[in-house]
Structure 1
Amino acid sequence: MLDLKITGGTVVDGTGAERFRADIGVKDGRIVEVRRRSGDDDGLSADAAEHIDATGRFVTPGFVDVHTHYDGQVSWDDTLEPSSLHGVTTVVSGNCGVGFAPVRPGREQWLIELMEGVEDIPGSALAEGITWQWESFPEYLDAIEKRSLAVDYGTQVAHGAVRGYAMGERGARNEEATDDDIAAMARIVTEAIEAGALGFSTSRTEAHRAIDGEPVPGTYAAEAELFGLGRAMAAGGQAVFEVSPQGTAGESPAEATMRELDWMTKLSAEIERPVSFTMIQTGGAPDLWRRQLERAGAALDQGIALYAQFAARPFGMLFGFTGYHAFTHRPTYRKLKAELEHADLMARLADPAVRAAILSETDLPPQPVPMFDGLYALIQYSVDKIFPIGDPPDYEPTPDMTVAAIAARRGEDPLATMYDLMLDSGGTAMLMLPFFNYAEGNHDAIYEMMTHPAAVSGLSDGGAHCGLICDASYPTFLLTHWARDRHRGPKFSLEYVVRKQTLDTATLFGLSDRGVIAQGRKADLNVIDMDALRLDVPRMAYDLPAGGRRLIQGASGYDATVVSGIVTRRHGADTGTRPGRLIRGVR
């Protein structure tokens, strides 16, 4: 008697091999049989407690998202949305050098403000939602292990938290670490890896700052500190050293990036563990990513595990009247926003007299705190780079679709056009400002990133940047845009796109029990109607603790998502089952 059988589906098994028709049998959370079908073959005959008829559907492994920020959310939210809305069955958190363990009693708020500043997660939501049942990193893992989740959760130990714990205020303020400091941090890192952390993460990116403007602890760490912690990580077991790279002030992007890759290559060679760095195309150096991939590829050829994490679509921000936008500092808008609920506010904003007043006013000055208070000005001066996202969302717009271009055709001021576009759909319409991965107005750079053996799909930032992005939908976008819908350039086979977010991402973190549909593997699966698969329009929800906001983007076309042999979502709806568990790294 099987627990579950999925019959008649077309299997895309995660290896990149050609699709085939097969039935899948599941018992005790594992795939026990994959029976290929041909002709009039009746298929798998064993009885099962649950049966999914996948005729006309594709069956894939569950997706493995290696770059999320659910470090706090996992302590109160058992669904881990929005990632679980998109066929994701495994998430890896603790990226970019920020996390919530270890933590000294009384320093919880400092870690909250660090995460809030770097990842734009409402501090009030973190303060109300996190349960703080730990001090050490092993205690954090123990607390999470008690939870039943909709997806499997693994995490890394973060440099910022480690530095703050070991060095106190000196670590928080990025003072240089002494030999004794490095030794103290190394003990914490080794202990974390031995307890089950999947890796160690650090941020060298100066834009990553706490809510008070201070850079993430470790931003300017010397090589002695980085190598000391890398060796400590390797001493604890199999793990990944994750880096958000950038050089020091005064260097060109090329100088900084290539210097960073030098030490990363040396570190990976010495500790014989993967080093993974985040990589995006920037307008100031639009071809630098090619040099990064060339260096990573040369390292791989020498047996050195150096991998770039790339984003599968333009990397930037979404905005509208439900979040950040160009008119947040206009006096009339401020007054109405403070007085009215959303529906009433939208009605007033649509009033021609109110519209005219807001468009004619001078902005109030920005405040130094909180972070992102000056985004309104950036938006106002970027009308030639901003696009309506549309329905269905279009993440590969052409230059004639910018707000500036639309305004020119209408013969009106671009800010007036922007105002009216945001009023669409009852004031919930979103506009997109791509900062990165769109330097030339197309996806050609991303296409090349996806083809490179040293590039791994990542940077979804699931759970983070709540008011600005919703890139946890990458898995669905990869399937719809890159394997089905793209018409402005070449695309990929479904087999290739599935492998990029199953076997490849699972392999990076040594998760060898998943990512492939094969006998003996973990039964994490998706049953997908590719004809019906569609990304929803991003929307603002206010469902975090303390009423915190976040952008949510759903999808349709997932008939079922299965975690450890149990259906967790059916036709987009949460089933209420919670088979997901903490993942501890291989030791």
Structure 2
Amino acid sequence: MDLVIRGAAIYDGQGGAPFRGDVAVKDGRIAAVGTVTEKGAEEIDATGLALMPGIIDSHTHFDAQITWDPGCTPSPELGVTSVLIGNCGFTIAPCREPDRDLIMKNLVQVEGMSLDVLRGGIKWDFETFPQYLDMLEAQGSVMNVGAFLGHSSIRTYVMGPAATERAANDDEVSEMAELVRQAMKAGAVGFATSTAPQHNGWGGIPMPSRLADHEELETLVTAMGEDGRGVFMLTKGNTTDVPYLETVAAKAGRPVMIAALLHNPTNPEGTFNDLAAVAAARANGHELWGQVSCCPLYMDFSLKSAYPMEGLNAWKPAMEATGEALKAVYASPEFRQAVKDELAGPAGVRLFNGEWHKLEVTETAKPENKAYDQKKVQDLADAAGKHPLDWMLDLAISEDLETLFMAELLNTDEDAVGRMMADPNASVALSDAGAHLTFFCDAGFGLHLMGHWSRDLGKLTLEAATRELTAKPAAIYRIPERGEIKEGYHADLLLFDPATVGRGPKRRVFDLPGGAPRLTTDAVGVHGVWVNGTKVADAEGATDAGLPGKLLRSFGS
């Protein structure tokens, strides 16, 4: 045996009670579970610790980062052994050389990435989606990686600039459908899109997928499922409600994963209504899932790129401007009034809902303003006798838009979030790892689920939490021989201390291409992470283990 882990409390991923035992690994697979008499080349005494399958993070955006960082930092050290990329359809393949800058600029806006980082980091050794997969496989990775084909990318590839201007014609839809078929044959896990109003590209123009009509969407999803495989994933907007998505599932005969069901205190029953509609669809024999998060959505931002506000139609002039022109937009009374008016109206799908008491000044840029740090915008505005929007914009303009703010946006009601996670039709994910690097870091969502929600709050058992992170997503996405501690399965494993497991506080590091910053978090209570039998992290963090991950290209039906 290459490795024997002895005396652990084994959570096998299926949701049953843990049992004390040993796990042996040979040639990257689990060779024995229970009592192992044979000695291993490496022996680990796991007394007092728990062993589970590695976390499967099904909602990430590592599509760009993985080309320069095959480690997909920081996910492996946070217990993640497999990731799915390409969610929401925001991918970098396929992409013609003349469109590269546009694709990167769109990622800057929609996923909160740095243009300089993308320009300096992405390796463009591909054009088509199959070539992108081949490149990833040749390069290698620390974790196992599966990829969605992205709607916005294939729209841009086929339609060029018109992708953000109009619906596709019949010939263009046919060409896109053929690209979908090619991607599925090459090993895509499925097809992903977004109709969410907050998903805007460069200059505030809607991401290409938002211009698709229902006929286009249904044709592409049906093409995905023609050979009896594939999961359709989307971040939904007002034009794609759950009953409509049930008709898509029925037509294609394939599962539909619906994101992002985050609890909104201004519409407290919205997510529960969606989950009830998902349950009704499942009762009709159609496999729909609601993707939820176990993390509150907090976001750091400056007024140079105010992502929390960009779902507002009135904010569009700010998305079209930079520098002095942007400050002029913010100073405009007409702009300010339009934003106030929209916030006063009913919300559809948006991040910020006018809850100014949940918006904080994190760090001011000028010494004379340091008294504002760590204080709520609502309180500061009240003290100044101003509307909170006016106060925030005035401060930001006075500091050349360098002021840092933190918004508490969604998913902050723990009773409601606990109810959502307990819904049998929900799937816990939405880390967004690889995106929004300067805004937040939820790559440790799995450790947070086990520590905060299971141990600290008791909202679900640890065996239920481990299943939610392992065997359940493996089954949803038809990932074979992963997600369980079972003889013959791939040895993706996480050894941890149930008494301490969790994620540490966020901190800022400067390790992106060009020394650019990102937010990260450290693992707490993690003692070892193995990908295909190779240890990629221990209690000290990431190890220098090479690239043991596999490109996932074969999925079940």
Q: Which amino acid aligns with 1:303?
A: G
How is 1:38-437 mapped onto 2 (pairs within 5 angstroms)? 43-170=35-162, 172-247=163-238, 256=239, 260-278=241-259, 279-318=261-300, 365=328, 384-386=357-359, 403=376, 432-437=406-411
Deviations 1:547-575 (A, max 9, x none): 22211111221100011011111113222
Question: Is the Cα–Cα contact under 8 Å of residues 384 and 402 in structure 1 kept in the other structure?
Answer: no
Identity score, percent? 33
Q: Map Cα deviations across residues 5-44 of structure 1 (whole Å, 9 max, x no partner).
A: 1101000111110011010011111111111xxxxxxx42
| 2:148 partner amino acid | Q
Q: Does residue 484 in structure 1 map to residue 437 in structure 2?
A: no
RMSD: 3.3
- Answering whether residue 550 of structure 2 is matched by residue 585 of structure 1, we say no
Query: Which of 445, 448, 451 is residue 419 of structure 2 equivalent to?
Result: 448
State how far apart, in whole Å, the 2-side matches of 1:534 and 1:182 are. 46
CA shift for structure 1 position 301: 1.8
Whether 1:473 aligns to 2:444 is: yes
Structure 2 residue matching 1:187: 3-state secondary structure = helix
Structure 1 residue 531, shift from structure 2 partner: 2.2
Deviations 1:48-90 (A, max 9, x none): 1211211100001100000000001111102111222210000
Distance 2:189 2:423 in 1: 24
**What SS is found at the alignment partner of 2:281?**
helix
Deviation at 1:116, TM superposition (A): 1.3
The equivalent of 1:493 in structure 2 is 461
How far did 1:530 drift?
Answer: 2.1
**Counterpart check, 1:532 vs 2:476:** no
After superposition, the Cα gap between the structure-2 partners of 1:209 and 1:387, relative to the gap in structure 1 and judged at 3 Å, is: closer
Q: Kindly report structure 1 stretches of 4+ aligned residues shifted beyond 6 Å.
A: 323-326, 404-408, 410-415
Conserved? CA contact 2:243–2:281, under 8 Å: no
For residues 448 and 217 of structure 1, do their structure 2 counterparts lie closer, same or farther at Cα, with a shift above 3 Å needed? same
Q: CA deviation at 1:260?
A: 2.2
Q: d(CA) in 2 for partners of 1:182 and 1:407?
A: 52
Q: Does structure 2 conserve the Cα–Cα contact (< 8 Å) formed by 1:556 and 1:572? A: no
Secondary structure in structure 2 of the residue aligned to 1:212: helix
3-state SS of paired residue (1:67): coil
Tell me if structure 1 keeps the 8 A contact 2:200–2:207.
yes
| Structure 2 CA distance for aligned equivalents of residues 414 and 319 of structure 1 | 20
One-letter identity of the residue aligned with 1:96: C
Q: CA deviation at 1:383?
A: 5.2
Q: How far is the alpha carbon of 1:546 from its aligned partner?
A: 2.1
- The 8 Å contact of residues 174 and 218 in structure 1, kept in 2 or not, is answered as no
Helix, strand or coil: the match of 2:8? Answer: strand
The whole-number CA distance in structure 2 between the counterparts of 1:405 and 1:160 is 38
1:152 Cα deviation from its structure 2 partner:
0.7
Change in Cα spacing, 1:471 to 1:325, as seen in structure 2 (3 Å) is same
| Mapped partners of 2:380, 2:516: distance in 1 | 34
Contact 2:451 2:500 in 1 (8 A): no
Deviation at 1:102, TM superposition (A): 0.6
C-alpha separation in 1, matches of 2:14 and 2:234: 27
Do the aligned partners of residues 405 and 383 (structure 1) sit closer, same or farther apart at CA in structure 2, a change above 3 Å counting? Answer: closer
Q: Structure 2 CA distance, aligned partners of 1:113 and 1:262?
A: 34
> Quick check: 1:529–1:558 contact (8 Å CA) kept in 2?
yes
Alpha-carbon distance change, 405 to 173 in structure 1, aligned in 2, over 3 angstroms: closer
8 A Cα contact 1:193 1:237, kept in partner: no
What does the per-residue CA deviation read over 1:148-197, in whole Å, with 9 as the maximum and x for residues that have no partner? 22111111000000001111121x22411111111000000110011001
1:512 aligns with 2:493: no
Alpha-carbon separation, structure 1, partners of 2:184 and 2:285: 23
SS in 2 for 1:298: helix
**1:568 and 2:550 aligned:** no
1:262 Cα deviation after fit: 2.2
User: 1:237–1:586: 8 Å Cα contact kept in structure 2?
Assistant: no
SS of 1:470's partner is coil
Greater Cα shift, 22-31 or 229-238: 229-238
Q: Which amino acid in the other structure matches residue 181 of structure 1?
A: E
Which amino acid in 2 is paired with 1:581? K
Distance across 1 between alignment mates of 2:99 and 2:219 = 25
Q: Distance in 1 between matches of 2:206 and 2:158?
A: 17
Displacement of 1:246? 0.7
Give the SS at the match of 1:384. Answer: helix
Partner residue in 2 for 1:34: 33
Give distance in 2, aligned partners of 1:58 and 1:412: 55
Letter in 1 for 2:61: H
Residue equivalent to 2:368: none
2:9 aligned partner: 10
1:346 equivalent in structure 2: none
TM-score in terms of structure 2 length: 0.83
Using the TM superposition, give the Cα deviation of residue 534 of structure 1 relative to its aligned residue in structure 2, in angstroms. 3.8
Moved more, 512-521 or 281-290: 281-290
Assess if the C-alpha contact under 8 Å between 1:193 and 1:585 holds in 2: no
- Tell me the secondary structure at the aligned position of residue 184 of structure 1: helix
d(CA) in 1 for partners of 2:113 and 2:233?
Answer: 21
SS in 2 for 1:467: coil
Give 3-state SS (helix, strand or coil) of 1:581's partner.
coil
SS of 2:42's equivalent? Answer: strand
Amino acid at match of 2:263: Q
TM-score by length of 1: 0.79
Counterpart CA distance in 2 for 1:477 and 1:317 is 17
User: Which residue of structure 2 lines up, in the alignment, with residue 342 of structure 1?
Assistant: none
User: How many residues were matched structurally?
Assistant: 497
Structure 1 regions of 5+ residues with no counterpart? 36-42, 248-255, 327-362, 369-376, 390-400, 419-429
Equivalent position amino acid for 1:11 in 2: I
- The DSSP-based 3-state class of the residue aligned with 2:177 is helix
